[in-house]
Structure 1
Amino acid sequence: MIRPATADDLDAVVALEQACFGAEAWSASLVAGELTADTRVVLVHDDDGVDAYGTVGVVADVADLHRIATRPQRQGQGLGRGLLDALLDAARGEGAERMLLEVADTNVPARTLYERAGFTTIATRRRYYPSGADALVMERVL
């Protein structure tokens, strides 16, 4: 089930951050900020525990996808796509007309997810990530 995240989900989301992003994981204070910010929509996939989460910021007519993270043992089961679809709907509901995101050019599963959802690459940020990977800036009109 996909539902809005609450403050009670903080520890579970922080654990997902660590499992999915390692050294690049957001801190508990950054996650807490996402959960409380007025311009954010944070959703979790919860089947007897939080298995995935996603967050998007919406300002005026632009939505920025900040994160989608799925517990490694649950990847490839459609949780990320379900969250992405729900976040797209939520962004539309908040008045967004387009969504932007950044993804590492080396993250083939995420790139495939976004391309299948109708995102196209509009720019590249060279050596953007600490690993040296480029960031692809992708966009989808809502």
Structure 2
Amino acid sequence: MTAADIPAVHELECRLFPVDAWPLQMFVDELAQAETRHYLVAERAGRIVGYAGLMCMEPISDVQTIAVVPEQESQGIGSALLTELIEESRRRRAEDVLLEVRADNPRAQQLYRRYGFQQIHVRPRYYRDGVDALIMRLRLGTRGLHTTPREADHP
């Protein structure tokens, strides 16, 4: 993600997360912290169709955001974004990757579980509309966990 991508990303953010959308300035501020942040976009036909961001402060990485436009879901974009965030976490020597996911978003929860994330906590009423957040963790450590979905999770 570059500064030039921010207006399009913010437009998607407002469309995809109308209640919890980040202000445009937040994306600007996040990109300005390259020493602890990593943001990327996914494009199709010159159009941004997904984006993701990571904050890493050794030994913890935290997925700040990940989103894919609904009309492009189930095409591997979310998986590609998540894989890159996990790989960046490894490059930055994180031992754990954390994230929050809406309790009412089973599709996202399933994606994270395929990558080995496990729920470790619940934050009641975390989102502005009162929905709980599930806190999930992927342990990287020295166990060499994979960054692709587990074979057992595929039919």
Pick the TM interval, shorter chain: over 0.9
| Count of aligned residue pairs for this structure pair | 138
Check conservation: 1:126, 1:133, Cα contact below 8 A: yes
Q: Which moved more, 1:110-119 or 1:126-135?
A: 126-135
Q: TM-score, normalised by structure 2?
A: 0.85
Greater CA radius of gyration, 1 or 2? 2
1:47-126 matches, cutoff 5 A? 47=44, 48-126=46-124
Any gaps of 5 or more consecutive residues in structure 2?
141-155
Greater fraction of residues in helix: 1
Corresponding position: 1:45 with 2:39: no
Superposed displacement of residue 133, structure 1 = 1.2
Instruction: Tell me the secondary structure at the aligned position of residue 138 of structure 1.
Output: strand
Aligned position for 1:35: 31
Corresponding position: 1:24 with 2:27: no
List structure 1 segments (4+ residues) > 3 angstroms apart after TM superposition: none
Check conservation: 1:19, 1:72, Cα contact below 8 A: no
Report the residue type matching 2:7 in the other structure.
D
Superposed displacement of residue 105, structure 1 = 0.7
RMSD: 1.0
Q: TM-score, normalised by structure 1?
A: 0.93
Superposed displacement of residue 9, structure 1 = 0.6
Report the residue type matching 1:13 in the other structure.
V
Per-residue CA shift, 1:61-116, capped at 9, x if unaligned? 10000100111211221101110001100111011111000111101111111111
Aligned position for 1:11: 7
Report the residue type matching 1:74 in the other structure.
Q
Q: 2:128 aligns with which of 124, 127, 130?
A: 130
Instruction: Tell me the secondary structure at the aligned position of residue 22 of structure 1.
Output: coil
Any gaps of 5 or more consecutive residues in structure 1?
none
Supply the distance in 2 between the matched residues of 1:22 and 1:131 (Cα, whole angstroms): 10
